[in-house]
Chain A
Amino acid sequence: MTDQTRDIRMQVMWNRLISVVEEQAMTLLRTAFSTSVREAGDLSAGVFDPAGRMLAQAVTGTPGHVNTMAEAVLHFIAEIGRDNMHASDTYVTNDPWKGTGHLHDITMVSPSFLGDDLVGFFACTAHVVDVGGRGFGADGKSVYEEGIQIPIMKFAERGQVNATLVQMIRSNVREPNQVVGDFYSLAACNDVGHRRLIAMMQEIGLTSLDDLGDFIFSRTHAATLDRLRGLPQGTWSNQILTDGYDETVKLVAEVSITGDRINVDFAGSAPVSRYGINVPIIYTKAYACYALKCVVAPDIPNNWASLGLFTISSPENILNAPRPAPVSVRHVIGHLVPDLVLGALAQALPGQVLAEGAAALWNIHMSVRPVAGAIGRRAEILMFNSGGMGARPGLDGLSATAFPSGVMTMPIEATEHTGPIVVWRKELRPDSGGDGQYRGGLGQIIEIEPAPGHEFDFSAMFDRVNHPALGRDGGGQGAAGRVALDDGTVLKPKGWQHVPAGRRLVLHLPGGGGYGDPGARGPEARAEDALKGYVTGNKP
């Protein structure tokens, strides 16, 4: 066989590996219990070599999970130890600093053996509906208040599930069946990946993934390097202000492009918060790398080699919060990291980077119960909702679209079946996109009422209420978010709050910033905005 046909075969195997992890992710989507996984796709799946280097990831999934999982596997290898690994083992953790940044995400890693040889690992992550503690929200004072902590340990040894662990979890979470069901789904998804990998290796006659790994990494490294060398060299910095829990939080980033790598440093950002909005560095890194990759190398597959040329540094602060800081809603600040990093990159690459957007998902976690004395249902309900994305150079921003997160919203018909609430409104928010030659994406308006005879508490995890998304290159800012009841009572953007029976929670999600001088927006675009009611001239 010639070198040329060998390369083609390697490429075909690479494709196959990607197909294997897609199957792995599909299994998780179809068996999961939490709506966050099954309807919203808040998950990741990937395959790793025996050294813990990510070979391929499922396209399905969200950057906060994918890029953190890429690091997490190394911790599993270090703590379990090769001698303690057996076929049909599954390892688990929800450690925020070794997993994906908060206790609600369960990461599972399974070794893959071909005969007696360890040939790789499969890993997956998903957000479960409850982990006990105070529930999903920013009010904890330390991670100990945020729920049960599962150190890196065995969920199953040689196929035998750790019954003690399952019992512990059952006693510590509010929806034990759903949570334990999701543990099984995660384990099953790794099993599927493993079976497909072994079948592929047997079919092709491989005894290890070494050659394939070298091929994947060398190709990816060379292509990414090629892109880096085409970038201007230098250092650029940016800062943004965000709502924080009860006081403004400043985030600072310095992006340095030097020779063969890009480093992002977060020195100067606000100190560690007293509330659960802190971000472990593993999660900060995940989103910083995601932002870099979107601009520098969007078409290059995500793996160990593509991520390896991006480095992150930070002193201890809100973006590098040490244990035991509270981190439950780390995604809110974490989702702002791309806007922070992109603002610095925009100086290096003028005319190429989009405006700021709503950034953080507007997740609502509701604990619904019957009012005192009434008969009804209790339920934990989680909804993911998105504001507007920033305008792009050359294109309007996407309305009500998740960015940087990669999740989907849940159908409201499905949400209303999970618990006693009524969603009265979920539609675009006119006048919320920042003006500009290219308009920012619109936010949305959501109205939710407890079903008759019920009330609910909800955990607010919202940002851009006090600090709207800024435009770029002359574009206007997007509309700020708003949290209120239908009687006009203004609520806080973060923390647990109450919605009594008969009242509606009204959320105005923020819009994206505009791009370029508003005076340059064409008359056809303005006419279209007016015709469709995207812009009415009223206050948003």
Chain B
Amino acid sequence: MSAPIRLGADIGGTFTDIALEAHGKLFSTKVLTNYAAPEQAILDGIDVVLAEAGISLADLDIVIHGTTLATNALIERRGARTAFVTTEGFRDVIEMRTENRFAQYDLNMVLPKPLIPREDRFAVAGRIGAQGQELLPLDEVALAALADQIASAGFGAVAIGFIHSYMNPAHEHRAREIIAAKVAVPISISSEVSPQMREFERFNTVCANAYVRPQMADYLTRLQARLQALGARCPVFMIHSGGGLISVETAAEFPVRLVESGPAGGAIFAADVAQKFGLQKVVSYDMGGTTAKICLIEDYAPKTARTFEVARTYRFAKGSGMPISIPVIEMIEIGAGGGSLAWVDAMGRIQTGPESAGSEPGPACYQRGGMRPAITDADLVLGKLDADNFAGGAIRLSSDAARAAVLRDVGDKLGLGAEAAAFGICEVVDENMANAARVHAVENGKNISDNMMIAFGGAAPLHAARLCEKLGIDRCLIPVGAGVGSAIGFLKAPFGYEALASHILRLTSFDADTVNALVAGLKTTAERFVRAGTRAAIQSEITAFMRYVGQGWEIPVTLPDRAYTAADAEMLRSKFSENYARFFGRAIEGLDGLEIEIVTWSVKAQDLRAAPDQIALISGGTRAAHKLSRAVFDPSRGELMATAIINRSDLTPGARVSGPAVIVERETSTVVTAPFDVVMQSDGSLLMIRKGAAE
């Protein structure tokens, strides 16, 4: 039997990417995203790749789908009218947020509006305490009356979030029963959507889930129906923010888990490339039109975090969006893409992003009405891009327009020529990305320069070498298929689900029975989701998030997958101290009675996959001859240098070119700065190696 035929579809903000793996070959295409009928773009794209592969819809074994629709619904506030039912006394948790101003000096800052307005938030009496004990019984009479009110008001969805429900969900379960008896719309409860401590985050997450649920359920039903009508007989699975696959039914129930699924696909793509080449420490760098995403991948698996923020409203400032507490591939995303705009601030400093020219009007060089300089304009002025050969020649770029925009908004204000101004723009955006990468590494207790970079996305190959210079990284791989990386990543994603629960337990009162029951419960939940898609063996990763009692930040400690005994308290203690020292320099010792506690437990279950075929990295190679040359600005030298211009397709495996060089291809260009050489790999990937670095 031949390998299954898999199709990945990634709906992004601008493009819908389709990747098809059939008979050992990869086919891919990009079509414009269709906002009115997102499934239509997928079907159009599928037609293209099926025709290329010479197969029909009925031949597909699985369709794997990721989409920004849930994210966009949250950003653009296009969800269902939702009723939020919460604990009396806490009606305003999602409106009061952290009571903090994320812009310290801006007295005119505006807070994002709560997802559910105050008039749609309803409080009922009933209270669970911090230890999970009932302090006040649920007012079931009032709830029944509220249910009538919700039913008659025509809400499209209901969210329920009670204080301390992660410790004891009984009231939330009972409230759902009472409301469901009278209300026909979907009901989401916080102890199922996000059973984690901290009311603002948990309530906001359950509200977000309820808010996008009707729309996502409709869309997913439509997509499946259309695929079937056209002859598809295979199941559709969804990629979730944690990088695994879940069934369409689960996705329709917990659509908040679909937020950030596209970037997750990118991280999976990088992880798969890393495994193919046997690279254990990798930083993936994905730069598209609007943002750059940076993610650490160790031992071929991206790390997951337990909370993140979507829909930031104030220059990407931390705290200006809405927190979502679900397992998510841990990455840092900043407003730095090819379309990010550049300007000069009051200090005469060049600034870039997060405002983006997008695809309409686009950078000035597109000549579609954009007048302000974007990163792509600066790249063009510096000679990094070929004006006649951008995006496969689809858009002819105007160097004159780019130069004029760079001069008008930056150069003239600072007394700089076009090249110097463009250099400044690129340096600033590269430095912003480098800073984000450094902070991300530190937050994870890692040293960024220990990693190899894997760069993909349209704009990444233009900036990767300089970023490596700034980060002290010696090697960078530009894989094949970088343009549709996320969709390819979908094909590689495991069936996986992470179940989390907050349950505070001090090591001094470590009770093996409690822990075994808790972990078993999480395992059952996680495996149930995985079983919906696979019969393969399942592997579980168990993590305890721990801290010194009194601290607020927990660090992850991985536990062996087995039954625990009282003796394991000591194992946890020593593992925690070890990890703590790795994060913060040294463990705290010698404090009498300073206790250690576990706050949150996680079980990540996924099916075991066969490792991809290994490819040996070629880091030696033989010098290739090249003829074409043009002047390109080299950032470390700070001047224009004669630079080799080479077609990627002209390089054979093992060919080595010394920087400065630009390797051009249909979708993008790879800029090899003076400190680097580049070596063509056997699978068509490009490897940049710092000159003189150990091979």
Give me the interface of B with A, judged by CB distance under 8 Å.
Answer: 88-93, 95-96, 98-101, 104-111, 117-119, 127, 129-130, 135, 163-164, 197-200, 345-350, 414-417, 420, 423-424, 427-428, 431-432, 435, 438-439, 442-443, 472, 504, 548, 550-553, 583-586, 588, 591-594, 638
- Set of chain B residues within 8 Å of A427, measured between Cβ atoms: 89-93, 96
Q: Are B428 and A11 in contact (CB under 8 A)?
A: yes
Q: For residue B171, give the distance in angstroms from its CB to the closest CB of chain A.
A: 15
A-B contact pairs, 18 of them (CB 8 A): A4-B424, A14-B349, A19-B435, A31-B553, A38-B552, A177-B592, A223-B346, A293-B105, A392-B108, A394-B108, A400-B99, A406-B104, A409-B99, A409-B100, A411-B197, A417-B130, A422-B127, A531-B119
Interface string of A66-104 (1 = CB under 8 A from B): 000000000000000000000000000000000000000
Partner of B200, one of A15, A27, A191, A411: A411
Q: Which residues between 270 and 300 of chain A lie within 8 Å of chain B, taking CB atoms?
A: 293-295, 297-300
Nearest to B317 among chain A residues (CB) is A59
Given A299-B345, A425-B89, 5 new contacts (CB under 8 A): A4-B414, A8-B428, A33-B550, A398-B111, A416-B164
CA distance A451 to B127 in the complex (A): 13
CB-based contact A22/B439 at 8 Å: yes
Q: In the docked arrangement, what's the CA distance between A175 and B89, Å?
A: 31
Q: How far is the CB of A6 from chain B (nearest CB, A)?
A: 9
Q: Which residue of B420, B504, B588 is within 8 Å of A4 (Cβ)? A: B420
Binds B, one of A107-115, A180-188, A317-325: A180-188
Q: Is the CB of B552 within 8 A of A298?
A: no
Of the residues B423, B431, B585, contact of A188 by C-beta under 8 Å: B585
Cα A416 to Cα B135 in complex, Å, equals 13
A2-26: CB near B (< 8 Å → 1, else 0) gives 1011011101101110010011001
Over the window 191-229 of chain A, the binary record of Cβ atoms lying under 8 Å from chain B Cβ atoms (1 yes, 0 no) is 110001000000100000000000000011001001100
A31 to B591 Cα, complex, angstroms: 15
Check if A444 is an interface residue, CB within 8 A of chain B.
yes
* A19→B104 contact, CB < 8 A: no
Residues in B with CB closer than 8 Å to A414 are 197-198, 552
Q: Which one of B98, B110, B199, B591 contacts A412 once the chains associate, using CB atoms below 8 Å?
A: B199
B443 x A26 contact (CB < 8 A): yes
Q: Measured between alpha carbons, how far is A192 from B584 in the docked complex, in Å?
A: 8
Q: Which residues in A have their C-beta under 8 angstroms from that of B588?
A: 181, 184
Chain A: minimal CB distance from B261 (Å): 28
**Residue numbers in B under 8 Å from A227 (CB-CB):** 346
Among A5, A192, A219, A226: residue with most chain B CB under 10 A: A5
- B111 close to A181 (CB less than 8 A): no
Task: Give the one of A12, A19, A401 with max B CB within 10 A.
Answer: A12
Asked if A478 is at the interface (CB within 8 A of a chain B CB), the reply is no
A1 proximal to B (CB < 8 A): yes
- Residues of chain A within 8 A (CB-CB) of B414 are 4, 7
Q: Which 5 A-B pairs have the closest CB atoms?
A: A38-B552, A425-B89, A298-B105, A30-B553, A416-B130
What are the residues of chain A within 8 A of B424 when measuring CB–CB?
4, 8, 11
Chain B proximity of A397: nearest CB distance (Å): 10
Q: Which residue, A29, A403, A409, A412, has most C-beta atoms of chain B within 10 A? A: A412
Q: Does A402 contact B (CB under 8 A)?
A: yes
Across the interface, which residues of A come within 8 angstroms of B417, CB to CB?
Answer: 4
A219 touches B348 (CB 8 A): yes
**Bound Cα distance from A23 to B586, whole angstroms:** 17
Question: Considering the chains assembled together, what is the distance between the CA atoms of A414 and B166 in angstroms?
Answer: 12
> A539 near B: Cβ within 8 Å?
no
Set of chain A residues within 8 Å of B95, measured between Cβ atoms? 399, 428
A181 and B591: CB pair below 8 A?
Answer: yes
Closest to A393 in B: B108
Contact status of A16 and B552, CB under 8 A, knowing A203-B472, A407-B100, A413-B130: no
> Contacts A399-B96, A403-B101: A424 and B198 contacting too (C-beta < 8 A)?
no
Instruction: Give chain A's interface residue range (CB within 8 Å of chain B).
Output: 35 or more
Q: A38 contacts B89, CB within 8 Å? A: no
Instruction: Report how far A276 CA is from B98 CA in the complex, Å.
Output: 28
A413 touches B552 (CB 8 A): no
Residue with the highest number of chain A CB atoms closer than 10 Å, among B199, B432, B585 = B585
Give the shortest distance, in Å, between A358 (CB) and chain B (any CB): 11
Q: B83 to nearest A CB, angstroms? A: 15
The answer to whether the Cβ of A41 comes within 8 Å of any Cβ in the partner chain is: yes
Contact in complex: A23, B551 (CB < 8 Å): no
Contact with B along A403-447 (1 / 0, CB 8 A): 100111101111011100011111110000000000000001001
Q: How far is the CA of A394 from the CA of B435 in the complex (A)?
A: 36
Report Cα–Cα, A192/B100, bound state, in Å.
26
- Minimal beta-carbon separation of A415 from chain B (angstroms): 9
Closest to A403 in B: B101
Chain B nearest Cβ from A180, distance in angstroms: 6
CB neighbours (8 Å) of B472 from chain A are 203
Residues A4 and B416 in contact in the complex (CB < 8 Å), given A16-B431, A177-B591? yes
Please measure, in the bound complex, the distance between the C-alpha atom of A7 and the C-alpha atom of B421, giving whole angstroms: 11
Q: For the complex formed, measure the closest distance between the CB of B514 and the CB atoms of chain A, giving whole angstroms.
A: 17
On whether the beta carbons of B198 and A8 are closer than 8 Å, the reply is no
Contact for A32 among B88, B416, B442, B551, CB less than 8 A:
B551
Tell me the minimal C-beta distance from B556 to chain A in angstroms: 13
Q: How far is the CB of B314 from chain A (nearest CB, A)?
A: 12
CB-defined contacts of A412 to chain B, threshold 8 Å: 90, 163, 199
Separation in Å of the B61 CB from the closest CB of chain A?
Answer: 45
With A294-B107, A427-B92 given, is the CB distance from A31 to B551 under 8 Å?
A: yes
Q: Does A386 contact B (CB under 8 A)?
A: yes
- Near B by CB (< 8 A), chain A positions 300-333 give 300-302
What is the minimal beta-carbon distance from B483 to any residue of chain A, in angstroms? 29
Within the complex, the shortest CB–CB distance from B569 to chain A, in Å, comes to: 19
Q: Judge if A477 is at the interface, Cβ distance under 8 Å.
A: no
User: Looking at the complex, which one of A4, A177, A299 makes contact with B594 (CB distance below 8 Å)?
Assistant: A177
In the complex formed, the residue of A with least CB distance to B597 is A417
Decide if A516 is an interface residue (CB 8 Å cutoff): no
Return the contact of A192 from the options B200, B348, B504, B585 (Cβ within 8 A): B585
Q: How far is the CA of A384 from the CA of B100 in the complex (A)?
A: 11
CA distance A423 to B91 in the complex (A): 13
B688 to chain A, nearest CB (A): 19
Which residues on B sit within 8 Å (CB–CB) of A191? Answer: 585
Cβ-based interface call for A35 (8 A): yes
Nearest-neighbour CB distance to chain A for B587, whole angstroms, equals 10
B99 near A413 with CB under 8 A, answer no
B130 and A8 within 8 A (CB): no
Chain B residues positioned under 8 Å from A5 (CB to CB): 420, 423, 638
A407 to B102, CA, bound (A): 10
Give A226 to B586 CA distance when docked, in angstroms. 47
Residues from chain B with a CB closer than 8 A to the CB of A14 are 349
Q: Give Cα A468–Cα B347 distance, bound, in whole angstroms.
A: 39
Q: Is A63 at the interface (CB under 8 A from chain B)?
A: yes
Interface flag for A263 (CB, 8 Å): no
The answer to whether B99 and A402 touch across the interface, beta carbons within 8 angstroms, is: yes
State the Cβ distance, B106 to closest chain A Cβ, in Å: 6
CB distance from B203 to the nearest CB of A (A): 10
Within 8 Å CB of B163, what residues of A?
412-413
A226-B96 Cα distance, complex, nearest whole Å: 37
**Contact, CB under 8 Å: A395 / B110:** yes
**Set of chain B residues within 8 Å of A399, measured between Cβ atoms:** 95-96
Chain A nearest Cβ from B545, distance in angstroms:
13
Q: Does A533 contact B (CB under 8 A)?
A: yes
Task: Indicate whether A401 sits within 8 Å of B101 (C-beta atoms), given known contacts A219-B348, A219-B349, A533-B118.
Answer: yes
Task: Please state if B420 and A408 are interface contacts (CB–CB under 8 Å).
Answer: no
Q: By CB atoms of chain A within 10 A, which of B98, B416, B553 has the most?
A: B98
Alpha-carbon distance A162/B424, docked complex (angstroms): 47
Task: Check if B423 sits within 8 Å of A424, measured CB to CB.
Answer: no
Q: Is the CB of A59 within 8 A of B431?
A: no
Residues of A within 8 A of B504 (CB): 417
Instruction: A424 to B88: give the CA distance in the assembly, Å.
Output: 8
Distance in angstroms from A184 CB to nearest chain B CB is 6
Q: Are A1 and B164 in contact (CB under 8 A)?
A: no
Evaluate whether A413 and B199 lie within 8 angstroms (CB atoms) in the complex, with A26-B442, A177-B592, A444-B96 already known.
yes
